[in-house]
Amino acid sequence: MTFRSGFVSLVGRPNVGKSTLVNCVVGTKVAIVSSRPQTTRTQIRGVRTTPDTQIVLLDTPGIHKPRTMLGERTNARARSTLAEVDVVCMLVDATAPIGRGDQFVADLVQAVSTPKILVVSKTDIAAHADIAEHLAVATAKLGEFDAYVPVSGLTGQGVDALVAEIESRLPLGPVYYPNGEVTDQPETFLAAELLREKLLLIARDELPHSIAVVVEEIEPGDGDESGDDAPKDDGIVRLRALILVERDSQKGIVIGKGGEVLKEAGTRAREELEALLGTRVYLQTQVKVEKDWQRRAHSLDRLGF
């Protein structure tokens, strides 16, 4: 039997539906989703395994005109994957005109010899005429691609066709991840991303994009919700989350009146993490002001950006 496997990078400008599509292809949530542009800041891997193939999807940050050092670093991270993967999928949003941002990304994609697929996303909320127009404009302006596939990461429409196009271009290769493993992200990373997602969802327009969440595991003896420092073997995953903001006013928004925003976000994140991990989770949260962290190299290094 011949087994095919490889790495696939999803690239595009911010908010074109990369994370939603990754979750759909994998079959479960491995990347957070938000209507806010530039939600994805790091490279997230989602794994889809069948008896014949394994696709390792790289959900990259949206490529954009950076205004901070963080933006510069997320751009560099997204661009670095283009020549290192087996297939590149460039996404364009069917509900928005193809513009200079798409052209900029397309020029980067065309500069590498990696097999390329143009994906027109969000077809579930776009008119058929808009989808057809996007395909025509992409063919004329964005360069040559090996395949053109309209999809909806929300409904799954067209995703099987996209997967087939990807699989046909994968090289013969090994099983990189064990069957059943859908991501290589540790539980601390998943918890941090889920908590950030819930904060963005609950606070909506009030909450600035400039928040970061770092989560570490609480080791036995570090204390927990019971106030007992004795080691425990009760199967509960204990995590401590630090939420960073840049201004004192932002701290109040994150916490909310009477702590309501932080409590609700923490509860939602914990419940979703428990469903993903299949175990009970205790999530401790703290909000801290770190001025201009997005513009400081030391802060970005410490946060892993």
Residue-wise pLDDT for 262-301, tens only, equals: 999 999 989 888 887 778 889 999 988 877 666 656 555 5
Helix%, strand%, coil% for the chain, nearest 5? 40, 20, 40
Spatial contact of 106 and 11, defined as CB atoms under 8 Å apart = no
In this predicted structure, what is the pLDDT of residue 168?
96
Q: Which residue has the tokens 């460039």?
A: 90
193 and 108 belong to one structural domain: no
- The tokens describing 234, both together, are 């009760």
Instruction: Establish if 179 belongs to a structural domain.
Output: no
In this predicted structure, what is the pLDDT of residue 233?
56
* Cα dihedral across residues 244, 249, 251, 254: positive or negative: negative
Query: Helices in 204-259 by DSSP H: which ranges?
Result: 248-255
- The tokens describing 2, both together, are 């011949």
162 and 24 belong to one structural domain: yes
11 and 98 belong to one structural domain: yes
- Overall number of domains in the chain: 2
**Domain boundary, last residue among 133, 167, 201:** 167
121 and 222 belong to one structural domain: no
38 and 128 belong to one structural domain: yes
148 and 35 belong to one structural domain: yes
**Domain boundary, last residue among 118, 137, 167:** 167
Total length of the chain: 305
Nearest 5°: the CA angle 273, 22, 64 is: 105
Question: 65 pLDDT band (50/70/90 cuts)?
Answer: low
What mean pLDDT do residues 151-169 have?
Answer: 96
Instruction: Establish if 173 belongs to a structural domain.
Output: no
135 and 8 belong to one structural domain: yes
Strand partners, 183: 46
Question: 220 pLDDT band (50/70/90 cuts)?
Answer: low
Q: Measuring CA to CA, which residue among 113, 123, 114, 111 is closest to residue 149?
A: 123
Spatial contact of 186 and 237, defined as CB atoms under 8 Å apart = no
CA 183 to chain centre: 11
Which of 96-105, 180-189, 239-248 is the least confident region?
180-189
CATH number at residue 51: 3.40.50.300
Answer yes or no: is pLDDT of 71 > 70. Answer: no
74 and 117 belong to one structural domain: yes
85 and 155 belong to one structural domain: yes
Name the average pLDDT for the chain.
Answer: 81
Instruction: Establish if 176 belongs to a structural domain.
Output: no
Instruction: Establish if 125 belongs to a structural domain.
Output: yes
What kind and span of H or E run contains 134? helix 128-141
Instruction: Establish if 254 belongs to a structural domain.
Output: yes
9 and 139 belong to one structural domain: yes
27 and 152 belong to one structural domain: yes
131: containing domain: 4-167
61 and 198 belong to one structural domain: no
Answer yes or no: is pLDDT of 51 > 80. Answer: yes
- The conformation of residue 183, written as its DSSP 8-state character, comes to B
- Compute the distance between CA of residue 86 and CA of residue 83 in angstroms, rounded to an integer: 8
End-to-end C-alpha distance for the chain, whole angstroms: 41
CATH number at residue 216: 3.30.300.20
What mean pLDDT do residues 45-60 have?
Answer: 90
Spatial contact of 46 and 57, defined as CB atoms under 8 Å apart = yes
**Domain boundary, last residue among 106, 136, 167:** 167
What mean pLDDT do residues 3-8 have?
Answer: 95
What mean pLDDT do residues 249-254 have?
Answer: 85
Give the three-class secondary structure for 282. Answer: strand
Q: Which residue has the tokens 């579930």?
A: 124
